[in-house]
Amino acid sequence: DIQMTQSPSSLSASVRDRVTITCRASQSISNFLNWYQQKPGKAPKLLIYIASSLQSGVPSRFSGSGSGTDFTLTISSLQPEDSATYFCQQSYSIPWTFGQGTKVEIK
Amino acid sequence: QVELQQSGPGLVKPSQTLSLTCAISGDSVSSNSVTWNWIRQSPSRGLEWLGRTYHRSKWYNDSSVSVKTRITINPDTSKNQFSLQLNSVTPEDTAVYYCARAGYYSNRGAFDVWGQGTVVTVSS
């Protein structure tokens, strides 16, 4: 199975800060990398697919980049409603696997 | 707008079978461009993909090795839904279970629609 490792595991930032979360795959996954946002008691929500494509309805302050083994999710200007846990997921090969999550808190 | 509605018991006894159903509205379980998946989430295992079913002229299934001998995912075209059965459960199967749709082509493997989640506890 492909292992996905996120960093950091948690972070605290102020409103309007630029926030970056990284995700590393244990082998090359081309650009088959997706990002999700999850709030407490809710199902994850797809933000970015195929590394950099913004899902319909997602604010443009979210962006993704990377290929191969290293990927990033960037929030260009953090908003209060962005307080959540973020997960990466590879869709290169079955079984699909997820990172352990990054919890983003607002200072 | 596609929606997934989950149903099924929240408490299962050890060694018994966990059964959940995911009803689809706004799409078809027989669609040739998506797959229908089960995912679970627990503090100890994080988010874990369990398996999927999909239709491409015929029905296909894939599952994670961790549950391969215990899992059954079945489509029901008459009710436009799909189901999960997990046999011989133990307390380690306690988790929130989600059904989810994933793309097969342009957004391959990205889960764009999720059910509301079902908290399943395995306990006597």
Q: Is B114 on the interface with A (CB under 8 A)?
A: yes
For residue B116 the two structure tokens come to 């509301």
For residue B109 the two structure tokens come to 């493997």
Q: Is A96 on the interface with B (CB under 8 A)?
A: yes
Task: Please report which confidence band the pLDDT of residue A37 belongs to, taking 50, 70 and 90 as the band edges.
Answer: very high
Chain A residue nearest residue B112, CA to CA: A46
Task: For residue A16, give how far its alpha carbon lies from the nearest alpha carbon of chain B (Å).
Answer: 27
Q: Is A46 on the interface with B (CB under 8 A)?
A: yes
Task: Please report which confidence band the pLDDT of residue A80 belongs to, taking 50, 70 and 90 as the band edges.
Answer: very high
| The predicted structure's pLDDT at residue A86 | 98
| Surface of B (30-89) touching A: CB under 8 A | 46-49, 62, 64-65
Dmax (CA) of chain B? 45
Q: In sequence order, what DSSP letters do the residues of A52-106 get, joined into one string?
A: TEEPTT--TTEEEEEETTEEEEEESS--GGG-EEEEEEE-SSSSPEE---EEEEE
| The predicted structure's pLDDT at residue A29 | 97
Chain A residue nearest residue B108, CA to CA: A91
Most B CBs within 10 Å, among A6, A46, A102, to test the B interface: A46
- Burial profile A75-93: b = 16 or more Cβ within 10 angstroms, e = fewer: beebeeebbbbbbbbbbbe
Flag whether pLDDT at A35 surpasses 90: yes
Q: Which amino acid is at A58?
A: V
Q: Do A95 and B49 touch (CB under 8 A)?
A: yes
| The predicted structure's pLDDT at residue B107 | 81
* Cβ atoms within 10 Å of A10's Cβ, excluding its own: 10
How do B46-56 and B58-63 pair as beta strands?
antiparallel
Task: For residue B51, give how far its alpha carbon lies from the nearest alpha carbon of chain A (Å).
Answer: 8
Chain B residue nearest residue A54, CA to CA: B107
For residue A6 the two structure tokens come to 């996120």
Going across the sheet that includes A4-7, the strands are A4-7, A19-25, A70-75, A62-67
| The predicted structure's pLDDT at residue B105 | 83
Flag whether pLDDT at A31 surpasses 80: yes
3-state secondary structure of A13: strand
Task: For residue A37, give how far its alpha carbon lies from the nearest alpha carbon of chain B (Å).
Answer: 12
| The predicted structure's pLDDT at residue B104 | 84
Per-residue pLDDT of chain B (124 residues; tens, 9 = 90+): 999 999 999 999 999 999 999 999 999 999 999 999 999 999 999 999 999 999 999 999 999 999 999 999 999 999 999 999 999 999 999 999 999 999 888 788 999 999 999 999 999 9
Task: For residue B107, give how far its alpha carbon lies from the nearest alpha carbon of chain A (Å).
Answer: 6
Q: Do A43 and B112 touch (CB under 8 A)?
A: no
Give me chain A's average pLDDT, please. 98
In angstroms, the Cα distances linking A84 to A101, A105, B83 are: 10, 7, 30
